[in-house]
């Protein structure tokens, strides 16, 4: 975090006037001669001391000099058994709450889906270390209803704020740069409201370069590229069978490649035992799962339907049951991986993807329910849980 001040502006104008008076018209850099030595004073954010570097850097902003000061590592005064006051960690009073005035209530906040406002004055509780702490009663509260959510102490219609919170935390799959090296995407991305919906844009970010004769294929370093030929060449690692809102279009399936060989899905088939079947594209439009990488197949290309991300490929003719069902990936005559899940004994919480433990990413261990758990972290808009196109955590 950097803190900008206008202190440099007056100094720059003074220097500029002096330069002009002496006939020096060669300076074009507005930061020329500016010294950034007036950093913001330290302050407190609750028990945390916030301070900035004594010397800053001058930045040209719209042709004007602005001083930027790097924030120093924050210090939690309570970890030192001290209080944060006026930007300093100070010893608590000998008698808890002595001299403490409680007239700075917290900002309005949320208690689950209830917005609440605190009274303007409170009382100091001497039993809270290190020196007592002010407690403020709730003066007014409101339960958010009719589809409204509590955010920052107010009830809002989330559809009116598609970029709050920022849903852009599932970037596209990595790519190969023009120089033949892996390139990923910086996250979070930038969210822009377009037609009432969130639109995400991500900046490219370089990844580790390929070495040792490896080449870049779909954003990963690989020793070779070939079709899956044996069971376990690809692993079914995540299954969103019951997305939020009960919309089957939000379903998706994640595949993981545990090998250093990129795998082409030309002619592979996604199916179950009940007649659902989808042939993955071959030829120029074929799909490739990078080495040690993930690929997500989904029923919709609409990020809003998927909870905030776009899958790598959209399939049709295949629907995941919320109860008993199967996910089978077949390439040629070989079953590469198969997961047969049930309504009971398997993780089945609504809006939570079935997540294969990160410690059991192989086609044998994903046959048993004990290797799976409900995904525990949200993604995108926060209405669903999962880690699409990202490593799975270890199941508890």
In-domain check, residue 227: yes
In-domain check, residue 187: no
Q: Kindly indicate the confidence band of residue 23, based on its pLDDT and cuts at 50, 70 and 90.
A: very low
Q: Are residues 227 and 369 in the same domain?
A: yes
Is the per-residue pLDDT at 6 higher than 80? no
Is the per-residue pLDDT at 211 higher than 70? yes
In-domain check, residue 378: yes
Percent of residues, the chain, with pLDDT higher than 90: 71
Q: Are residues 100 and 19 in the same domain?
A: no
Q: Please provide the DSSP assignment of 21-32 as one string.
A: HTT------TTT
Is the per-residue pLDDT at 2 higher than 60? no
Q: Give the lowest-confidence range in 15-24, 78-87, 140-149, 161-170.
A: 15-24
Work out the burial of residue 340: count CB atoms within 10 Å of its CB; fewer than 13 is exposed, 13-18 middle, 19 or more buried.
middle
β-strands 334-341, 325-331 pairing: antiparallel
pLDDT at 30: 87
End-of-domain residue from the set 110, 135, 156:
156
Q: Are residues 239 and 304 in the same domain?
A: yes
Q: Are residues 242 and 358 in the same domain?
A: yes
Domain of residue 23 covers 2-70
Q: Are residues 274 and 137 in the same domain?
A: no
pLDDT at 197: 86
Q: State both tokens at 157.
A: 């219609």
Closest C-alpha to 134, from 149, 145, 118: 118
Q: Give the lowest-confidence range in 17-21, 87-91, 371-375.
A: 17-21
Q: Are residues 39 and 131 in the same domain?
A: no
Is the per-residue pLDDT at 248 higher than 90? no
pLDDT at 76: 92
Q: Are residues 264 and 305 in the same domain?
A: yes
Is the per-residue pLDDT at 315 higher than 90? yes
Over residues 270-288, the pLDDT tens digits come to 999 999 999 999 876 679 9
Q: Are residues 235 and 373 in the same domain?
A: yes
Q: Are residues 301 and 343 in the same domain?
A: yes
Dist. CA 173–CA 393, nearest whole Å: 19
pLDDT at 284: 67
In-domain check, residue 217: no
In-domain check, residue 43: yes
Please report, for the domain that includes residue 314, its CATH number: 2.60.40.1260
Closest C-alpha to 308, from 168, 164, 159, 165: 168
Q: Are residues 66 and 99 in the same domain?
A: no
Q: Are residues 270 and 136 in the same domain?
A: no
Dist. CA 364–CA 335, nearest whole Å: 12
Dist. CA 377–CA 296, nearest whole Å: 17
Q: Kindly indicate the confidence band of residue 224, based on its pLDDT and cuts at 50, 70 and 90.
A: very high
C-beta of residue 321 within 8 angstroms of C-beta of residue 241:
yes
In-domain check, residue 177: no
C-beta of residue 293 within 8 angstroms of C-beta of residue 299:
no
For range 336-343, the mean pLDDT: 97
For range 305-332, the mean pLDDT: 95
Is the per-residue pLDDT at 350 higher than 80? yes
Over residues 163-179, the pLDDT tens digits come to 988 999 999 999 999 98
Q: Kindly indicate the confidence band of residue 16, based on its pLDDT and cuts at 50, 70 and 90.
A: very low
Dist. CA 309–CA 353, nearest whole Å: 14
Is the per-residue pLDDT at 15 higher than 80? no
DSSP state of 377: S
Average pLDDT in the chain: 89
In-domain check, residue 190: no
Overall number of domains in the chain: 3
Q: Are residues 48 and 133 in the same domain?
A: no
In-domain check, residue 211: no
């Amino acid at each position: 975090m950097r803190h900008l001040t206008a202190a440099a502006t007056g100094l720059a104008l003074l220097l500029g006037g002096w330069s002009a008076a002496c006939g020096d018209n060669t300076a074009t850099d507005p930061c020329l001669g500016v010294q950034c030595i007036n950093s913001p004073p330290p302050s407190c954010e609750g028990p945390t001391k916030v301070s900035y570097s004594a010397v800053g850097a001058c930045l040209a902003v719209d042709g004007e000099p602005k001083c930027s000061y790097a924030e120093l590592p924050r210090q939690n005064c309570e970890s030192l058994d001290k209080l944060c006051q006026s930007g300093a960690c100070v010893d608590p009073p000998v008698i808890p709450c002595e001299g403490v005035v409680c007239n700075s209530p917290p900002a309005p906040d949320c208690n689950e889906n209830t917005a609440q406002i605190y009274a303007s004055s409170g009382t100091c509780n001497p039993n809270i270390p290190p020196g007592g702490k002010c407690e403020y009663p709730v003066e007014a509260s409101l339960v958010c209803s009719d589809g409204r959510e509590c955010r920052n102490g107010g009830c809002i219609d989330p559809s009116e704020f598609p970029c709050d919170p920022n849903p852009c935390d599932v970037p596209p799959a990595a790519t190969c740069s023009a120089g033949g090296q892996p390139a990923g995407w910086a996250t979070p991305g930038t969210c822009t409201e377009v037609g009432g919906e969130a639109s995400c844009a991500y900046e490219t970010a370089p990844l580790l370069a390929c070495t040792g004769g490896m080449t870049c294929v779909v954003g990963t370093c690989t020793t070779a590229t070939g079709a899956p030929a044996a069971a376990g060449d690809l692993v079914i690692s995540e299954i969103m069978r019951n997305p939020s809102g009960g919309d089957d279009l939000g379903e998706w399936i994640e595949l993981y490649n545990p090998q250093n060989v990129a795998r082409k899905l030309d002619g592979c088939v996604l199916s179950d035992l009940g007649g659902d079947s989808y042939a993955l594209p071959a030829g120029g439009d074929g799909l490739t799962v990078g080495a040690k990488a993930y690929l997500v197949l989904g029923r919709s290309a609409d990020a809003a339907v998927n909870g905030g991300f776009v899958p790598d490929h959209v399939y049709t003719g295949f629907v995941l049951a919320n109860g008993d069902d199967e996910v089978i990936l077949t390439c040629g005559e070989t079953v590469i991986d198969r997961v047969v899940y049930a309504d009971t004994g398997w993780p089945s919480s609504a809006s939570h993807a079935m997540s294969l433990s990160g410690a059991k990413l192989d086609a044998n261990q994903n046959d048993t329910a004990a290797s799976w758990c409900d995904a525990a972290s949200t993604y995108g808009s926060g209405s669903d849980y999962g880690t699409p196109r990202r490593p799975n955590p270890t199941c508890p």
